[in-house]
Amino acid sequence: MVLLASSEVLVFDQVREGLRVAVPRCEYLVDPLAVDTLEPRLSWQIESNSRDARQTAYQIIVASSAAVLATNRGDLWDTGKVASNQTIQIAYQGKPLASRLRCFWKVRAWDQNGRASTWSKPAQWAMGLMQSADWSAKWIGDKLPSVENLSAATLRREFKLSSRARRAIVYASALGVYELHINGKRVGNDLLAPEFTDYHTRTQYQSYDVTELLKPGANGIGAVLGDGWYAGGIGLARSLIKKPRNIYGDHPRFIAQLEVELADGKTERVVTDESWKTSREGPIAQSDILDGEVYDARREMPGWDSAGFDDKAWKTADVASNVRTTLVAQPNEPIRVTQDIKPISVSEPKPGIYVFDMGQNMVGWCRLRVQGAAGTTVTIRHAEMLSDDGTIYTDNLRAAKQTDSYTMRGRVRLRGGGIASDGIETFEPHFTYHGFRYVEVTGLKSKPLLDAITGRVFNSAMIETGAFESSDPTLNKLWRNILWTQRGNMLSIPTDCPQRDERLGWMGDIQIFVGTGILNMDMAAFYKKWMRDVRDAQAEDGRFADFSPHPFGKDKIFTGVPGWGDAGIVVPWRVWQHYGDKRMLAENLESGKRWVEFIRANNPNLLWKNKRGNDYGDWLNSDTLIYEGFPNKGGQVPKEIFATMMFAYAADLVSRSARVLGKDDDTAKYKQLFEDIKAAFNKAYVTEDGRIQGDTQAGYAIALHFDLLPQKLRPQAVRYMLEGIERYKGHMSTGFHSTYRMMLELTAAGHNDVAYKLINNHTFPSWGYSIENGATTIWERWDGYVKGRGFQNKGMNSFNHYAIGAVGEWMYRVIVGINHDDAHPAYEHFVIRPYPGGGLKWAKGSYDSIRGKIASSWSIAAGKLKLDVRIPANTTATVFVPAKDAGNVLESGKPANKSTGVEFLRMQEGAAVFLVKSGSYSFESVQ
Ligand code: BGC
């Protein structure tokens, strides 16, 4: 016993001191089932309990089976011991990969003392269907166009298996949205698959391991197929192309290919073709992304998705031969329910009208639990706000109905055929989604209990990576509101809003929010998907679309706007900063150049005067506020100037991207273009003493942020920006594009006190104002609702819009102090530089970077500042400890410069600056 115990201790110590290899991922995902790149990229994280833990070498082995991997052999790829500190973006270089191949892999790492870690836990990926010839399945549906009959189609067939399945994978997709079933069970829990893409170019397929769902003998497979983005309504379609629905097509289609390896050694393939049957008699009588779903439980067809169902009355499926789209494996996290919310109250503002308050503006739908006679219809309407009389306020939804209805089956029957004793019926929609805080329920005989409704929150299910908390409850609420707004708008594409008839991938909004979004969630795979949408939507002449996907004539309308199109360059750049994704930069470099060249070709004197499309400018700046006494001039930076600044920024980022990719010619060419635009900008719009035409806060903020002024004029610009803030009595007059950039520039210029003042404002316009007025998400407009005045223009007044939530980046970078470093992308090295201030007593936050968790937490009490930081293994950080004198900075109670892992570099702007190796540290300084 004693011996055993001591050997256990020995093993534990070794593990504690050595490195551990964790979180093995392929193409950013855990064990993806369909990868369609021939050189998938692998990553892992290094963990250690010691300071200054470093990886000096790694070995990856990739095997064709779990059994081979278990013997530590890599029959597909064995890197051997590679001297390298890299843990991310390592491209597979083994034997050629082919469709369906399963790859089992693991990795180990050596530390700086040459000690090897144990192997990581085994991980895997499977190759998808790489060639169109891999698909023997056909696109099926029925002959009814989805124009008058809006019922979802149900599709099914049966098949026999001669023995137990050893492994079964199904690949499935739709032009529309679908749910797949096998033997009475729903396959997976993804929602709104295959998600929103430009279906004429590219449609995603999903892959599921369904081994456990199959059985020897007769099996049933089926799908429910809704209209979705393909055949249903899409935001703005009505106004832009006078077409309410059927934007991509009017015949939804479904495709599936089930590939089974049987225990008896045989293989079976079940594919969609003319052997399938179809019906429009199912319970989903109508479904639409924007309008909602009509469900009649009396039309349910128990057993339709199992063997033995009588489908004689069903029609033979219609096989479409003219579908032109490329099927690609879904690269991003699926849309899934990420949490459930219980309502906080239910009221009855008018007889029989019940209004639930979810307590949170959310995106998803409701689960309804009700009881009643067969044929009773319950109608569920969704809204973000209430009118004064307590009924729901729906004007700002414009034409989106956001209404579900459920007609009760009334019979006490359960799905599986049993009898329910309580007669309670449960309903959730399938092919729609809503943005709402309030839920109006009508059609019930008596007041429902609170548990009649559950809010099912869903979004593209990325891991949440950020945390923020401080001594100020309003700031904490602001951070939560930003996160909720992100949850609500990352749904296959980054949308502007989730409620009205819009919900599009507006490029300007995400260009601004991308940094905050990445700190809040692991966005890499999401952007890998969406940047394809962006390229698919680019016009022939190089204009990026105003929103992507762009189904409304990308070469003609809603393309090419300054500050919007630029997302095509900005997003890959910011993804590279945080994830080191060079491949994404490379994939987007040419499209970025085409955009910049389009602008240059039309504006040879380098001021962007021509071809600015819809020219939104610094959107929703303070000139658009409606409030008596509030100036309606002076906020907006002149649009031509705004455009020219964006042009310069785009050229600069193209040059930087080219540099990362080692393309010297492009680096020099676009750097020169940037310098030339800068010169033209100064000549045309900047006076000798640094006034930028328009004299707006926004103009100075953006010019400073994009480095558009000569060094000697920067202090002047800062002064004018401060004067601008004074003119607005200590408030912002900035719009979408300039607000968070001004916050960052105030801090950079040493006026952090002013930045704190702006974020601490509770008077209008400010974030605090919306919070005082009950906001649980970020509003589109500072004055979405104003006491005494009421709602802003119902034509454009979302309460769930992330753009001005871009200040989240400032909160992470300035309050908590976590900053990336472009010289060492993906947090290989980073900067921790918190700026205590704004009356805060403490603040703490963290970011789960691709290399591990970074944390920073500070507090001030009794004249002492404490700063705790966490630097992931195999990374280093420059840490700024606010202090008067480096000599009085302690770390874990010892003089900091004597502490292990800490090296004093310099004093800078009121802080002692240290180079800190990986590990956890507690600094303390006298203030
Ligand atoms: C959207 C915005 C978008 C804008 C373009 C609006 O309707 O909601 O966020 O960027 O149009 O001006």
pLDDT tens digit sequence for 495-546: 999 999 999 999 999 999 999 999 999 999 999 999 999 999 999 999 999 9
Residue nearest to atom 9 of ligand 1 (CA): 496
Decide whether any atom of ligand 1 lies within 6 Å of the 736 Cβ.
no
pLDDT of residue 238: 85
Work out the number of other CB atoms within 10 angstroms of the CB of residue 535.
Answer: 20
Alpha helical stretches, state H, 661-806 = 664-685, 697-705, 714-727, 739-748, 752-760, 767-772
Pocket test for ligand 1, best of 234, 616, 642, 737 (most atoms within 8 A of CB): 616
Rounded-to-10 torsion of CA 62, 825, 463, 525: -60
502 lines ligand 1 (CB under 6 A): yes
From the list 307, 538, 502, the residue with the least C-alpha distance to 396 is 502
Going by CA atoms, what residue is nearest to atom 5 of ligand 1?
A: 616
- The count of other CB atoms within 10 Å of the CB of residue 618 is 32
What separation in Å is there between the alpha carbon of 640 and the centre of ligand 1?
19
Q: Is 508 in the pocket of ligand 1 (CB under 6 A)?
A: yes
Which pLDDT value is given to residue 417?
60
Three-class SS state of 240: helix
Task: Check pocket membership of 616 for ligand 1, CB cut-off 6 A.
Answer: yes
Q: Which two tokens stand for residue 175?
A: 């032009």
Amino acid at 91: A
Instruction: Quote the ligand 1 centre to 709 CA distance (angstroms).
Output: 29
Active site residue 780: yes
| Residue at 909: amino acid letter | E
Determine the Cα–Cα distance for residues 384 and 784; give it in Å rounded to an integer: 12
pLDDT one-digit tens code per residue, 55-113? 999 999 999 999 999 999 999 999 999 999 999 999 999 999 999 999 999 999 999 99
Cβ-based neighbours of 552, under 8 Å, separated by 6 or more: 236, 237, 240, 241, 247, 558
How much is the average pLDDT of 34-56? 97
CB atoms closer than 10 angstroms to residue 52: 18
Active-site entry in 502, 640, 828, 924: 502
Q: Strand (E) positions, 385-521?
A: 385-386, 392-393, 403-407, 425-427, 434-442, 453-460, 466-470, 490-491, 493-494
What's the pLDDT score for residue 149?
77
State pLDDT tens for residues 120-173: 999 999 999 999 999 999 999 999 888 877 899 999 999 999 999 999 999 999
**Segment holding 592, helix H or strand E:** helix 582-602
Q: Please provide the DSSP assignment of 786-819 as one string.
A: ETTTEE--TTS--S---GGGGHHHHIIIIII-EE
Flag whether pLDDT at 251 surpasses 80.
yes
Residue 905 three-state SS: strand
Residues 52, 102: Cα–Cα separation, whole Å: 36
At 606 the three-state DSSP class reads: coil
Burial 743-764 (b: 16+ CB within 10 A, else e): bbbbbebebbebbbbbbbbeeb
Residue 618: CB within 6 Å of ligand 1?
no
- Atom 2 (ligand 1): residue with closest C-alpha? 496
Q: What is the pLDDT, as a whole number, of residue 738? A: 98
Residue 413's pLDDT is 55
Tell whether ligand 1 has an atom less than 6 A from the beta carbon of residue 745.
Answer: no
Contact assessment for residue 681 and residue 648, using Cβ atoms and an 8 Å cutoff: yes
Identity of residue 793: N
Question: Which atom number of ligand 1 is nearest to the Cα of residue 614?
Answer: 12
DSSP one-letter code for 303: T
Structure tokens at 492: 């296959």
SS3 47: strand
**Confidence grade of residue 906 (pLDDT, cut at 50, 70, 90):** very high
pLDDT at 412: 59
Three-class DSSP labels, 567-587: HHHHHHHHHHHHHCCHHHHHH
Distance from Cα 237 to the centre of ligand 1, integer Å: 14
240 lines ligand 1 (CB under 6 A): no
For the cut 60, the answer to whether the pLDDT of residue 419 exceeds it is no
Distance 284 CA to ligand 1 centre (A): 32
> Mutate which of 238, 506, 793 to test ligand 1's pocket (most atoms within 8 Å of Cβ)?
506
Would you say the CB of residue 58 lies under 6 angstroms from ligand 1?
Answer: no
Are 91 and 40 within 8 A, CB to CB?
yes
What is the identity of the amino acid at 124? Q
What residues contact 746, with CB distance under 8 A and at least 6 apart? 721, 752, 754, 755, 758
- Is any ligand 1 atom within 6 A of the Cβ of residue 619? yes
Residue 210 has pLDDT above 80, yes or no: yes
462 CA to middle of ligand 1, Å?
Answer: 24
pTM: 0.96
For a mutational test of ligand 1's pocket, the pick from 495, 509, 557, 781, i.e. the residue with the most ligand atoms closer than 8 A to its C-beta, is 509
pLDDT for the residue numbered 4: 38
